[in-house]
Amino acid sequence: MQFSFAKYQGAGNDFILIDDEKMRFPLEDASYISRLCHRRFGIGADGVVLLQSSEKADFRMRIFNADGKEAAQCGNGLRCLVDFIHQKGHRAQHFLIETQKRIIPCSWDSGLITIDFGPAEWLLEDFSLDDFSLHLINTGVPHLVAFVDQLNMSDFKSMGAKLRHHAAFSPEGANVNFAQLQGDKIYVRTYERGVEDETLACGTGAAAVAIAALKKYSLKNPVCIVPASKEELLVEATEETIRLKGPATCVFYGYVPYSFP
């Protein structure tokens, strides 16, 4: 048995996309998913995104992190899926995608994809931990946001890992975003749960940073977020919803067997 796939990236956040409308993918095999994502022994990606049929919406998304565990939501993965659906011949500009958390309105317009997360949830605001002033915001998954004076931190990975696994957020932990205001843009570095490393971008993280920045600084919607990839994302955040906008690119197509070394 083998699967066809498309390798996508959204702002540098990369994914393996698989059409699983016939429900054949071994999604319970975490080690297989982890091998697919391995950058030396597999295809290489931050996660695997499955396109499935839905009884509640036009389509259903399942997203698995590089550790093989299923995630509740992924903004950039969802944007990649929207373009994947469009490239498969579904030409409607607006449709609904079911995720583990909620049904999300999405749109495709000349290569720019907008997804509507719905409202965010402030879990903790402006609290101190390990010498950082932090915010904890749920944008489908929990994100810590710390505004810092300098993003070029030599101990970024160790600090990110420490906060991600901190006992205060057990048992599942949280994603970690360090952010810096430069002019009218917010530059961000993200340590992502499930990848257990820095990623070039994170859509739900960009949304959390934008929400915190709108409260902290005199910014206007939409907020321009610049992740480590330098590919800008636009986030419009209100009390009612969060909209994430940006391009997604297919890098290549291929086939992969179910069993490989």
Active centre residues (catalytic): 74, 202
- Rounded Cα gap, residues 167 and 188, in angstroms: 24
Is the distance from CB of 240 to CB of 205 less than 8 angstroms? no
- Rounded Cα gap, residues 70 and 25, in angstroms: 13
- Ranges assigned E (strand) in 174-220: 175-182, 185-192, 197-199
- Token code pair at residue 56: 């509640």
Closest among 177, 134, 183 to 153, alpha carbons compared: 177
Q: How many CA atoms lie within 13 A of 168 on its CB side?
A: 15
- Rounded Cα gap, residues 97 and 239, in angstroms: 22
Is the distance from CB of 20 to CB of 51 less than 8 angstroms? yes
